[in-house]
């Protein structure tokens, strides 16, 4: 396994000889649209690529101060709501998973450092699907299992894609992963989308992680790098179908309960048309307590190209879910941690 060093998030993880500055399409995103998405102007972003991985782009935290909080709150409070789908639907009645936030917030707010305390429902959350809902049994999407994709997340994703040269990107499906310090994500490739010409976008919030970027075959040795709160990864072109994994979640390197970028308050002066919303102090206290031992990752994809349709299939359960809660995440697994997991 090779190890790479990049400025900021890649520090101590990737060798400098492999790294180069990636060019962004600054004119494709107006400063106003960047602000509306909670992002710095693209001219202020730093972006990096890796030799041997064409199409892979790493963008260290380009978010404006306080704006990460919006996406954390959405992932915990709004996006798990019905009609979206989550792992808890596998073994709980629909009425029991209607309001995970409401059922968890007081328990989370009072939570101490004791490991033996019962977990809230939010702490049992492992994944949520948006838009075209991924079928974990068939490893496919279908026209029959689709709900509206969140408009704010679509806007954010489309600005990032445009900045990376993908002006026509449409956010059609999302998989949100919720990690704790004992969680991992096995090696897999995201190939179920019918359109591979558009990028896979990955957004990370909360605690840090090790990310492994492999090759076109499982057995190819991966390159390791760190992912910190606010970092964005784009996998496109050759890198769109590379194997990858998250073998470990780590405390943020600053040594504090939360990374300093999450301590920053949101400006009271939001631009007209901003998709970012202010969070109440009460809501943020719940989010902050959750993130002290957790990491949230949003991966956004385009499933179909313009005008493309799903092939007709017979005998398929369009709303099939994962065969087990642990088919996507691996937890408490110190043995065979890097062995292949089910594809996501």
How many angstroms separate the CA atoms of 35 and 1, rounded? 39
CB-CB contact of 223 with 212 (8 Å): yes
CB-CB contact of 145 with 135 (8 Å): yes
Residue 188 marked ligand-binding: yes
How many angstroms separate the CA atoms of 282 and 77, rounded? 12
Residue 244 marked ligand-binding: yes
DSSP state of 23: P
Torsion of CA 322, 324, 329, 333, to 10 degrees: -160
> Which two three-digit tokens encode residue 12?
């101590």
CB-CB contact of 10 with 4 (8 Å): yes
3-state secondary structure of 20: strand
CB-CB contact of 302 with 195 (8 Å): yes
Residue 326 marked ligand-binding: no
CB-CB contact of 20 with 49 (8 Å): yes
203's CB contacts (< 8 A; 6+ apart) are 71, 156, 231, 232, 297, 298, 299, 300
312's CB contacts (< 8 A; 6+ apart) are none
3-state secondary structure of 77: helix
166-179 in b/e burial notation, b at 16+ Cβ within 10 A? beebbbbbbbbbbb
- Give the annotated binding-site residues: 188, 190, 244
- Give the annotated binding-site residues for Fe cation: 188, 190, 244
């Amino acid at each position: 396994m090779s190890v790479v060093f990049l400025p900021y998030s890649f520090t101590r993880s990737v060798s400098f000889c492999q790294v180069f500055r990636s060019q962004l399409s600054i004119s494709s995103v107006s400063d106003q649209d960047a602000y509306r998405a909670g992002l710095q102007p693209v001219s202020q972003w730093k972006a990096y690529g890796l030799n041997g991985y064409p199409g892979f782009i790493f963008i260290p935290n380009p978010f404006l101060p306080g704006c990460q909080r919006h996406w954390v709150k959405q992932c915990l409070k709004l996006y798990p709501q019905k009609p979206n789908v989550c792992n808890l639907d596998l073994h709980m009645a629909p009425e029991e998973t209607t309001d995970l936030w409401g059922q968890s917030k007081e328990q989370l707010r009072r939570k101490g450092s004791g490991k033996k305390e019962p977990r809230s429902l939010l702490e049992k959350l492992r994944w949520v699907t948006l838009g075209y809902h991924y079928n974990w049994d068939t490893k496919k999407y279908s026209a029959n299992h689709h709900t509206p994709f969140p408009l704010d997340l679509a806007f954010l994703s489309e600005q990032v894609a445009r900045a990376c040269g993908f002006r026509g990107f449409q956010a059609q499906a999302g998989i949100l992963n919720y990690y704790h310090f004992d969680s991992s994500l096995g090696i897999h490739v995201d190939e179920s989308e019918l359109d591979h010409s558009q990028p896979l976008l990955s957004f990370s919030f909360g605690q840090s992680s090790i990310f492994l970027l492999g090759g076109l075959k499982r057995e190819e040795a991966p390159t390791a790098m760190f992912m910190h709160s606010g970092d964005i990864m784009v996998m496109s072109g050759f890198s769109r179908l590379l194997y990858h994994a998250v073998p470990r979640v780590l405390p943020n390197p600053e040594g504090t309960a939360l990374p300093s970028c999450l301590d920053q308050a949101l400006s009271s002066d939001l631009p007209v048309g901003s998709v970012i919303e202010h969070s109440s102090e009460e809501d943020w206290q719940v989010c902050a307590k959750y993130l002290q031992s957790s990491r949230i990752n949003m991966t956004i994809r385009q499933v179909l190209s313009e005008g493309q349709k799903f092939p007709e299939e017979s005998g398929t359960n369009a709303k099939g879910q994962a065969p087990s809660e642990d088919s996507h995440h691996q937890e408490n697994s110190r043995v065979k941690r890097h062995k292949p997991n089910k594809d996501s």
